[in-house]
Structure 1
Amino acid sequence: MSQTISVELDSQPIELCKLLKVANLVGGGGEAKVVISEGYVAVNGEIEYQKRKKIYNNDVIEFNSDFIEVICHAPVIETPIKKRQQPTAASPKKNVKSKTSEKSAAKVGRRKKISF
């Protein structure tokens, strides 16, 4: 049996996977991403595969015979896109060659612990 769920948001847009979680149609974010990538979710009548698809006011999402209607009266908030910094004439690209010593060449087959 299908039902229509109205979700009122304080700000827009919201990512599709987060909307499925907010509407309690999935158990968690991982499940939301799987059902979207498998093609079980439609946005405004078309199958959507983008997990982070931005959803806006009056969009209708269909999943598992349920419908979600998004309601938001706040203006759209877009995040700025970061641009890559281009090298300037003052700071040209440097050609960096990797140096391998005989000692490290002998350790090729060993695992190296990397911490972040």
Structure 2
Amino acid sequence: MEIIKLRQQDEFIKLGQALKAAGFVESGVEAKEVIQDGLVTVNKEVDVRRGRKLYDGDVVVFNSMEIKIEK
């Protein structure tokens, strides 16, 4: 499981940014494609919004890899 720590001044990170930060995708375009294709879940539900805001405690799964968002 990859853990992404939110910066102190940030309340959230966007889904596309989280996928890139974790190294699961190489670009914003690739993030957009996998999200729109329904290949990404947030808290066990498919979400097709690249701009979905992720907060402390959210869990993202893509291709059997997990990201946990922490404050």
- TM over 0.5, yes or no? yes
Equivalent residue number for residue 40 of structure 2: 41
Task: Give me the whole-angstrom Cα distance separating, in 2, the residues matched to 1:55 and 1:66.
Answer: 16
Task: Give me the whole-angstrom Cα distance separating, in 2, the residues matched to 1:71 and 1:49.
Answer: 22
Q: Which runs of 4+ in 1 moved over 6 A?
A: none
Which has the greater radius of gyration? 1
Q: 1 or 2, which has the higher helix percentage?
A: 2
Structure 1, unmatched stretches of 5+, are 73-116
Equivalent residue number for residue 7 of structure 1: 4
Aligned residues: 69
Q: How much has 1:71 moved relative to structure 2?
A: 0.5
The structure whose RCO (Cα within 8 Å, separation 6+) is larger is 2
2:23 is the counterpart of 1:24: yes
SS at match of 2:3: strand
RMSD between superposed Cα atoms in Å: 0.6
Matched letter for residue 11 of structure 2: Q
Equivalent residue number for residue 53 of structure 1: 52
Q: 1 or 2, which has the higher strand percentage?
A: 2
Q: How much has 1:63 moved relative to structure 2?
A: 0.3
Q: What is the TM-score normalised by the length of structure 1?
A: 0.58
Q: What is the TM-score normalised by the length of structure 2?
A: 0.93
Moved more, 62-71 or 11-20: 11-20
Q: Percent identical across equivalent pairs? A: 38
